[in-house]
Structure 1
Amino acid sequence: MKGRLGKGATATVYSGIIENRIVAIKQIKLSAYSQGIKYAQATIQREYQIVKELCHPNILRYYGLFFNKENQQVNLIMELVDGVPLTDFVIYVGHVNEEFTAYILRFVLDALGFLHSHGIMHRDIKPDNVLMSMSATIKLIDFGTATKYTPNINRRNSTVGTPWYCAPEVINGEAYDTECDVWSLGCFAVELVSGKPPFDELNEIACLYKMAEGQSPPLPDGISPACASFLSSCFTSDWKKRPTVKELSASPFISSQIPLENEH
């Protein structure tokens, strides 16, 4: 391993070289999980199994998983991205203009479309879980709450995710499908254009009550009709009538976006 890239409550990330490839090595302390070591190990193993075969330019690659019994650690070997979470970017710039918001959304939609076509829901779309590289490449990360499913057969009903970005059907424990990611994407977009997440003034419990009632997040002031239409579509309360990511990609707000030089 080489230098340390970052440190959190449960993990430390280092850069390293494995088989002549520069990678990120995420060392996860299993003892830091309140649910216990076995639960933590199973959760990380499940995350790796879901994404290990995925190969898409806007999804972070996972290369390997190693368990260190002596130190009670799991090492996740991942693609190294020279960039920052969009949370940090939004804090730095205050808010993102609509043109660049549409640019970001187009690649997140591409990533979600790929996941959904492979029977995977992400279930935690938010700025923390999207990286932007120095060349403006967008990468969807963190599949800790992702799940596999069979469309129209085994829908999910577990309550997971982050309150300010959760769809009503997820909070209410109803059966739901990939459209839960669409609602979260709308919340993600609100934070980009306004600089703060929906219902930012509320605490977690109050926010959950608002979302559980199916109350759509208020749209930011001063946005264009195309942006407002895109967000309103994401916040369709009946998930069965909510647009798919493919339909959103064809919306005027996204499809009219002029390609930037750094697109791959």
Structure 2
Amino acid sequence: MESDYKIVRELGKGAFGTVYLIKHKREAEWFALKTVDLSRADAKERASAEREANLMRELNHDHVVRYVASTFNGSTLFIFTEYCEGGDLSHFLEDTSGKLPEDLIVCWVYQTAEALKYLHHRKILHRDLKPQNIYLSGEGDIKLGDLGIARILDKGADMASTMAGTPCYMSPEIFQMKGYNHKTDIWSFGCVVYEMAAGERAFDAPIFQFLMFKVVAGVVPPIHSDYSDALRRLVKSMMAKDPDQRPSAADLLERSPVKEFGQSPQRPKEIMKTRGFRTKWGTSESTVDTVKLFKEMVLNPAPPFKDGDIRIPVDSLQVHRERLGLKGAASAVPTSGSGGAGIYGSIMAPKQKAKEKVADKKIEVTLKPERSRTEMSEGRAAIMEAVMRGLMGKMVETQDRTLRESYSSTSSSSDSDFDSTLGASHGTTTKKAIEAQFLMRQIQVLQKHCAEGLGTDTLQDAYSILESVTDAGQLKARLVTLIGEDMFRQYGEKIMYLRLFQVGLDKVRSQME
């Protein structure tokens, strides 16, 4: 039986696989197709991938990406979702210069808070909120997407303990390896709102240790005084160091200025028009060129499947269309610029390559299936690769440079931020001592935890493996041989972070001599 859909173009690649834009051959219906190669996955990892798809299937909210269906094509899992032609928030910010209208920021806070309230009520943490994962419909409405590392908290438990997310948006409790709950999403979202208002990240640094130091020991920067006191207080509360002091998503909706906006909401494009706000977003000058985007292109390399393999179950399509308030054929599906119930958009907009900074790299130190380049099982080998190459690898590459030299490679404003974080009265030696003290605290916590669980002799053997093995797949295999699969799930990533912190501490101490 011939498929009704064809591949238009590749949208991007990620840890799980490749994402394509597909179109109905006769009607104006577009979807994003996320492919997950499970050929190297064991039964447990395959089940985990299916759970991700099933998690998305249950979600039905105007500001959360709508799942359409999932099918298997051999060993490849196909996940079909809505498509959003507005790109993501990072595209919008890149297309925009100057100050964003406060009404627009508050509108997006309102829409995102509604989405988080919906997710958190279902015990789902997003855990990777950042501009690249906040998508926009053609009308500029928010769609939370990329729930690949979201999880449903176990029944009876309200705290997670794995380290996951993108470093510059991670909460202090994650860096401190404490338990965390839905309030970590509020911190990350606070960082995003700050970025909307300030035009720069709240926390950034060229190397990982400095980033951790700024988040855990630093002062949260205020947004510009041009914005209202109410919005400034709201952002500050979202980024409170103590999670208990942060508002919940439901609280955000009841606080000024979000509460007032909710009483008479407007659409983002309406706000831009009313305020006379100018942006390249939505024009031919945008980083998201809609005209070119929907034109078919020759895929090189060609995908490992054909158009005929793309089959969306009829019943799933029917449910999807009913959720959008539609009936019948695909031709009835409105674009995001049309009226109708629901917002027709999707999660997988094309992404530009991120700048090569350690803080840009997404890390997930929780054992979930990701694509591996090694002979090891797909999920956990990829985790080891992310940690070793993404974090420790950067540390090793920069051992011939001092931390200060590395930090000086950033802008003067960032350097000033760092100085103010430590306090202007501190000299260079004092700063190094503070850095060393911070790293030592992290090491002590991890050492105690790992030694209690594994024993000091086994932990020392693990150190030897870390020093002698650089290949991610071999590293995982050696550690599993040493401590076993079950203990690796509990302590594997912690051992690696312990080693990372010790490398950093050695560097700081050498500069103090």
TM-score for the superposition, normalised by structure 1: 0.86
What is the deviation of 1:27?
A: 2.5
- The reply on whether 1:104 has 2:114 as its aligned counterpart is no
**Farther off after superposition, 107-116 or 55-64:** 55-64
Deviations 1:217-245 (A, max 9, x none): 31233332112101111011111222111
Superposition pairs of residues 217-232 of structure 1, within 5 angstroms: 217-222=220-225, 223-232=227-236
Structure 1 or 2: more helix by fraction: 2
- Specify whether residues 216 and 125 from structure 1 end up closer, same or farther in structure 2 by C-alpha distance, changes over 3 A only: farther
Deviations 1:160-198 (A, max 9, x none): 111111111122221111111111110010111122222
- Specify whether residues 73 and 216 from structure 1 end up closer, same or farther in structure 2 by C-alpha distance, changes over 3 A only: farther
SS at match of 2:87: strand
CA contact (8 A) 1:109 1:249 kept: yes
- The reply on whether 1:156 has 2:160 as its aligned counterpart is yes
Q: Residues of 2 paired with 1:203 and 1:74: CA distance?
A: 36
- Specify whether residues 217 and 49 from structure 1 end up closer, same or farther in structure 2 by C-alpha distance, changes over 3 A only: farther
Deviations 1:6-44 (A, max 9, x none): 1225413222339x864221224458xxxx644874553
1:14 corresponds to: 21
Superposition pairs of residues 85-234 of structure 1, within 5 angstroms: 85-94=88-97, 96-149=100-153, 153-213=157-217, 215-222=218-225, 223-234=227-238
SS at match of 2:165: coil
What is the deviation of 1:259?
A: 2.4
Q: Residues of 1 paired with 2:122 and 2:204: CA distance?
A: 33
SS at match of 2:163: coil
Q: Residues of 1 paired with 2:58 and 2:173: CA distance?
A: 29
Q: Residues of 1 paired with 2:242 and 2:126: CA distance?
A: 19
State the Cα RMSD in Å.
Answer: 2.5
Q: Residues of 2 paired with 1:247 and 1:207: CA distance?
A: 29
Q: Residues of 2 paired with 1:151 and 1:37: CA distance?
A: 27
Superposition pairs of residues 21-100 of structure 1, within 5 angstroms: 22-29=30-37, 37-38=41-42, 41=46, 43-69=48-74, 72-94=75-97, 96-100=100-104
CA contact (8 A) 1:85 1:132 kept: yes
The amino acid of 1:12's aligned partner reads: V
- The reply on whether 1:260 has 2:266 as its aligned counterpart is yes
CA contact (8 A) 1:90 1:96 kept: no
Number of aligned positions between the proteins:
256
What is the deviation of 1:97?
A: 2.6
- Specify whether residues 125 and 3 from structure 1 end up closer, same or farther in structure 2 by C-alpha distance, changes over 3 A only: same
The amino acid of 1:26's aligned partner reads: K
Q: Residues of 2 paired with 1:208 and 1:65: CA distance?
A: 38
The amino acid of 1:251's aligned partner reads: R
What is the deviation of 1:216?
A: 4.4
CA contact (8 A) 2:21 2:30 kept: no
Which one scores higher on RCO, CA 8 angstroms, separation ≥ 6?
2
Deviations 1:75-133 (A, max 9, x none): 21111222211001101103533211111111110000000111111111111111111
1:3 corresponds to: 8
Q: Residues of 2 paired with 1:162 and 1:83: CA distance?
A: 22
The amino acid of 1:4's aligned partner reads: R
The amino acid of 2:234's aligned partner reads: F
SS at match of 2:240: coil
Q: Residues of 2 paired with 1:151 and 1:189: CA distance?
A: 31
Q: Residues of 2 paired with 1:226 and 1:26: CA distance?
A: 40
The amino acid of 1:59's aligned partner reads: V
If you compute each CA radius of gyration, which structure gives the higher value, 1 or 2?
Answer: 2
- Specify whether residues 176 and 152 from structure 1 end up closer, same or farther in structure 2 by C-alpha distance, changes over 3 A only: farther
The amino acid of 2:242's aligned partner reads: D
Q: Residues of 2 paired with 1:43 and 1:87: CA distance?
A: 29
CA contact (8 A) 2:197 2:224 kept: no
Percent of residue pairs identical: 25
CA contact (8 A) 2:38 2:46 kept: yes
Q: Residues of 1 paired with 2:156 and 2:244: CA distance?
A: 11
SS at match of 1:236: coil
Q: Residues of 1 paired with 2:134 and 2:141: CA distance?
A: 10
Q: Residues of 2 paired with 1:229 and 1:169: CA distance?
A: 21
SS at match of 2:106: helix
The amino acid of 1:52's aligned partner reads: R
CA contact (8 A) 1:91 1:195 kept: no
Q: Residues of 1 paired with 2:164 and 2:55: CA distance?
A: 17
Deviations 1:36-87 (A, max 9, x none): 6448745533322322111001000112223333xx5332111122221100
**Farther off after superposition, 116-125 or 150-159:** 150-159
* Structure 1 stretches lacking a partner, 5+ long: none
- Specify whether residues 145 and 216 from structure 1 end up closer, same or farther in structure 2 by C-alpha distance, changes over 3 A only: farther
